[in-house]
Amino acid sequence: MDFGQLKSKRRTLSSAFNVNPEIKKSVNLDGVNGFHSFYKMPPSGSITLQQFEYYALERLKVLKAIELNNVLKGKKFKEYCDEMRDEFRNLGWQFLCTDRLSKEDEEKDLVSHHILRLAYAKSEGKRQWFITQETELLKLRMMFSNSLLNRLLEVNQLSSNQVPAEEINELTDELRGCQTGFNMANAVYYKVDFEEVLQLVSSRKVYLSQGYAYLPASELQSFVLNKYKIHLKEQLAMACKLMPGLEEENRIMRQLKALSGGDLGTGYTTKAVGDKITCDMLDQLSLRSYPLCMQTLHNHIKVKHHAKHEGRMQYGLFLKGMGVSLEESLKYWRTQFCKGGIDTEKFDKTYAYNVRHNYGKEGKRADYSPFSCLKIISSSEPKGDECHGCPYKHSDELSLRHLLEKRKISAEATEEILGLKRQGHYQVACMSLFKATHPKEGLHGGLQHPNQYFEESQTILSGNSETSDSKMTADSSEKETAGKSNDNKENIQDIEDEFDDEM
């Protein structure tokens, strides 16, 4: 991928990064590229498509970790910062804890930011999510480095309107009224447009005069973060307008769409947990280790002895991910459907092909992966007798409460989960259920996949809570990363194209 060219397929991508060509003339690149200058300069040079996706997926994991910890933090800010510092180190992004980056880390930081900026530019909701997480990341970086705030002010020319001491002296009474513990001897203020610090204006923390806010030095961080938000909002809006020019870049567009879906579960790999899983074991396993979405599907099929296409897809691939063999899967579906009045011959003609196809034994013989949480959350809302989807998103509050009561968790845990549903934190709600049903353990690093839920549950129940035999991974290998995410997206579409809901 050549960021420097301006024509051909490669050029279109470069022009989308270069949303403000005038910046090249005004920003000195010596040591201030990347986050110091709010990523104003787009990347230049070339990277491979493998690097393109690898960088983006790695940064997406960082932003997801920030989102998760923000939802769950409920703790002192210092403790939160310490946990995030450890999280960045565990993810291999320890350079986020300093403002002095190596050339390699600077490239990784710059390129990954601009790729995700493109990926999240297309809708208002995604733009807002990206801005929120990136702003929180910059806030953390300022907390980790005492010198970064001054560096950001200098590079972005934000500190040029310092209020002279004489003017501060004239406004002593007014300034004292807006700031607790005002000390004239140490007073340092900056004059900024009041619209740039509306939050401080609304809380009456700044003095206003002739359209300007007198900003104490202690509030400079809020000012910088707000400037960064405004900058990102403008750049994302401009990138959105340029996105139609990327439509010809089919492979790149698939990558960007996959990234904006946040689908960190596309690289899911599995091995059987413990002994071979047979269809006779599913009832017990569903009670002990299924996430709520799969338990709901299992119970629906057990009662109705049928499931619509979307439900069969979601549950069938989950069974495959558990380690259920093709033979056992066919046995399970045949048994259930025959109990519902479908004879063996009709099942073999109408439904068995679908099961074999999921296992890569029919059609294109592709190895289809189980659906990730975000794939399920973003699926169509179930209607009528359909049973697919995510209960935390697609069920109403009363129905979800009923499902949770069946799991026999505490009233406190139930209310916590319902609260998370109301806030739209569906995966965090699922994590809370896991914690409620596995009191001594929790899901470490977030929940991205139903099979991850199942396998970590089985690992805990088997008495080995350190490392499960099977893990959901967003591949760190550049070679693997390039293929798996794209192939999986195409594979899912292949299945959906090949089978209709009436099959």
**pLDDT tens profile 170-213:** 888 888 888 766 666 677 888 888 887 887 888 888 889 888 88
Residue 373 annotated in ligand binding: yes
Fold entry, domain 8-155+225-248: Transcription Elongation Factor S-II; Chain A (1.20.930)
User: Which residue type occupies 123?
Assistant: S
Do the beta carbons of residue 137 and residue 66 sit within 8 Å? yes
The list of the chain residues with pLDDT below 50 reads 4-16, 18-31, 265-267, 272-274, 466-503
Domains of the chain by residue range: 8-155+225-248, 165-220, 279-498
Residue 387 annotated in ligand binding: no
What does each C-alpha distance from 482 to 62, 97, 251, 255, 265 come to in angstroms?
A: 19, 28, 10, 9, 14
Across 223-237, b (16+ Cβ under 10 Å) vs e yields bbbbbbeebbeebbe
**In terms of DSSP bridges, do strands 189-193 and 207-209 run parallel, antiparallel, or are they unpaired?**
unpaired
Task: Quote the pLDDT of residue 162.
Answer: 82
Instruction: Give pLDDT tens digits for 268-318.
Output: 555 544 468 999 999 999 999 999 999 999 999 999 999 999 999 999 999
User: Which tokens is 370 given?
Assistant: 């189980």
Task: Quote the pLDDT of residue 310.
Answer: 93
The Cα 418–Cα 463 span in angstroms is: 30
Residue 430 annotated in ligand binding: yes
Instruction: Give pLDDT tens digits for 123-166.
Output: 888 899 899 999 999 999 999 998 888 888 888 877 657 888 88
Residue 81 annotated in ligand binding: no
Task: Quote the pLDDT of residue 157.
Answer: 79
The Cα 303–Cα 413 span in angstroms is: 27
